[in-house]
Amino acid sequence: MNTQELKHLAERLMAEDKGLLAMDESTGTCNKRFKALGIPQTEEYRRKYRQLIVTTPHLEESISGAILFEETLHQQTDDGQSFLAILKQKDIIPGIKVDQGTTPLAFFPGETITEGLDRLTDRMISYHQMGLRFAKWRAVIHIETDLPTKTCITANAFTLARYAAICQEAGIVPIVEPEVLMDGAHSLQTCAAVTQDVLKEVFSALYEHKVSLEGMILKPNMVLPGLNCPDQNSTEVIAQQTISSFLKVVPAAVGGIAFLSGGQSPMLASERLNMMQLRYGSQIPWPLTFSFSRAIQQPAMEIWKGDDQNITAAQQALAHRAACNSAARRGEYLPAS
Ligand code: 13P
């Protein structure tokens, strides 16, 4: 493992003013979002949609890296340029989702474990040869009356650490994503406690697996009340709880923190990131940015609707949300824009 190289890559991904674009929806997730908008659920339409994203003018001004899904790696534009080549021309670092989704955790109803470790070393080597320089693995934690269990947290922390070590051995920066879901009626305080428990376990496992913290990026949820919680806290309180939770459990050496959006509206996700930078930007030890999928893409997908005539307007919406998040990363986002 070349730790200096990994650290340098992580620094490029966390470049000032920029963040990550997650465009790695699995076929099932992408089709689900297409279906809701009446877009045909075929490989060709997924290709057209991803073409729209990678060819968006000015995307590179706000985006340092794009997380791709396996299907996209070999796809090309209408005029035969590979998506990977286009990203490289724009100096957007290509990354890849390497987990293979979640499956029920045996004996623990309601909980899941993420799969994909089999032959991951070989896959990593070939991804590196293709020019991919970072990867993503998402673990999912559910909050319910008696959930999450310690077993679920430990099992997911272990697999995240195994994945991260395999990435680094192959010269790939791991994005470590333990997502505590927003689903449910739990309070902000419960989310804060669970998020801290999960991150403590994840960093303990990363330490045991000798993962270089400088050469990795954490992709966490923001600390939020459940979607059905009657008390929806203010942006100030959410920013304060999120930062104070991370200060307790995320080592200062970590290469960066890049939030997932998790189903927040695009504007709220930008507003909350902005508030964290505005209030705490000078006190936090890690670069803090975004790694959103829905909070960047959703307005563009709704405009596109699978119709070529809407491509330009959809690209403008995509570039706009990316620019809003770039502004939020500097603490300069204008709420409601
Ligand atoms: P959302 O921003 O839509 O939560 O997606 C981020 C992601 O990459 C999930 O793995």
- pLDDT at site 142: 98
Please state the atom number of ligand 1 nearest to the C-alpha of residue 261.
2
- pLDDT at site 263: 96
Alpha carbons 71 and 53: distance in angstroms, whole number: 15
Percent of the chain with pLDDT over 70: 100
- pLDDT at site 336: 86
- Per-residue pLDDT of 192-238, as tens digits, reads 999 999 999 999 999 999 999 999 999 999 999 999 999 999 999 99
pLDDT band at 314 (very low <50, low <70, confident <90, very high): very high
- pLDDT at site 241: 98
Beta carbons of 140 and 263 less than 8 angstroms apart: no
Q: Does residue 290 belong to any structural domain of this protein?
A: yes
Q: What is the signed CA dihedral for 15, 203, 70, 295, rounded to 10 degrees?
A: -60
- Per-residue pLDDT of 119-162, as tens digits, reads 999 999 999 999 999 999 999 999 999 999 999 999 999 999 99
Q: Does residue 335 belong to any structural domain of this protein?
A: no
Give me the mean pLDDT over the 325-329 stretch.
Answer: 98
- pLDDT at site 69: 98
- pLDDT(1) > 90: no
CATH code of 82's domain: 3.20.20.70
Residue 306 phi, psi (nearest 5): 85, 5
Give me 150's structure tokens.
């310690």
Is the torsion defined by CA of 161, 165, 168, 170 positive or negative?
A: negative
Give the structural domain span for 198.
Answer: 3-329
Number of domains in the chain: 1
- Per-residue pLDDT of 84-101, as tens digits, reads 999 999 999 999 999 999
Residue 302 three-state SS: helix
- Is 7 catalytic? The answer is no
- Report how many helices (DSSP H) and strands (DSSP E) the chain contains, helices first: 12, 10
Instruction: Indicate which residue of 177, 179, 201, 271 is catalytic.
Output: 177
- pLDDT at site 335: 86
Question: Ligand 1 pocket by C-beta < 6 Å: which residues?
Answer: 22, 138, 177, 260-262, 292-295
- Is 5 catalytic? The answer is no
First vs last C-alpha separation in the chain: 43
Closest residue CA from atom 9 of ligand 1: 260
Q: Does residue 101 belong to any structural domain of this protein?
A: yes
- pLDDT at site 182: 98
Q: Does residue 337 belong to any structural domain of this protein?
A: no
Please state the atom number of ligand 1 nearest to the C-alpha of residue 24.
8
Instruction: Indicate which residue of 7, 136, 219, 271 is catalytic.
Output: 219
Q: Does residue 334 belong to any structural domain of this protein?
A: no
Dist. CA 320 → ligand 1 center (Å): 18
Dist. CA 22 → ligand 1 center (Å): 6
- Per-residue pLDDT of 21-40, as tens digits, reads 999 999 999 999 999 999 99
Give me the mean pLDDT over the 283-312 stretch.
Answer: 98
Q: Does residue 50 belong to any structural domain of this protein?
A: yes
